[in-house]
Chains A and B, each alone.
Chain A
Amino acid sequence: QVQLVQSGSELRKPGASVKISCKASGYTFTTYAISWMRQAPGQGLEWMGWINTDTGNPTFAQGFTGRFVFSLDTSVNTAYLQISGLEAEDTAVYYCAREECTTTSCFPHYWGQGTLVTVSS
């Protein structure tokens, strides 16, 4: 069965960096893009962007450029999200998801369990 398993919670100080992993199983990793979403405490979902797992080409949503990096290690079927220059406002749960596309649209179908990143001095 399709599974996306994310790395555990992280606590960082302001200005530090963090790298979250998302390990996929149950399907051919390079067939589907991986999307990343952010959900601040008590807030809604934000789409951060996605990475084409076949080409490695990333696409970032507005507001998620500069400090955010999407990367892959296809040898271990894993996608990564790295955030540098962490700010208190980056405190959130980060989700990865397998993005599926029909002839009409694309949508995140299978989701990871989420990774809580806490930024605090």
Chain B
Amino acid sequence: QSALTQPASVSGSPGQSITISCTGSSSDVGRYKSVSWYQQHPGKAPKLIIYDVSDRPSGVSNRFSGSKSGNTASLTISGLQAEDEADYYCRSYTRTTTSFGTGTKVAVL
């Protein structure tokens, strides 16, 4: 169960859009519609922001959106705000393997 690959850091200015990638393989990310995304502020528990590749839980801002192409899933944050500065993790689930991504630190310049 190898970790999925994410960029270590992504940055953007307030109001801009940024995209975080999450690369796996045909056995995990590419196989099913089973990628979720989490936001984690320092010292806090992770918070679910996307599930099933592109669905948002109730209460999560529509500035967060998810997509997938082949073995790579992506999280896009639109209209970047200071409060979006956090760590972001993807997670892939299959019946035989479940892995988190390596994590991406988002900085709002």
Contacts and interface: CB of A to CB of B under 8 A. Distances in A.
Contact of B52 (A37, A47, A105): A105
A105 B36 contact: yes
Per DSSP, are chain B's interface residues mostly helix, strand or loop, or mixed? strand
Interface string B92-109: 010000111111000000
A58 B3 CA distance: 21
Contact of B93 (A95, A107, A112): A107
A37 B40 CA distance: 14
A61 B1 contact: yes
A104 interface: yes
Contacts, number: 63
A61 B93 CA distance: 12
Interface in A52-78: 61-63
Contacts of A47: 1, 91, 98-100
Interface in B53-67: 57
Interface in B1-32: 1, 3, 32
Contacts of B38: 45
A105 B102 contact: no
B46 A44 contact: no
B98 A104 contact: no
A45 B100 contact: yes
Contact of B48 (A37, A46, A109, A113): A109
Top 4 nearest A-B pairs by Cβ distance? Answer: A105-B34, A107-B36, A44-B103, A111-B45
A104 B33 contact: yes
Contacts of A102: 51-52
A36 to B, nearest CB: 12
Interface in A11-61: 37, 44-47, 61
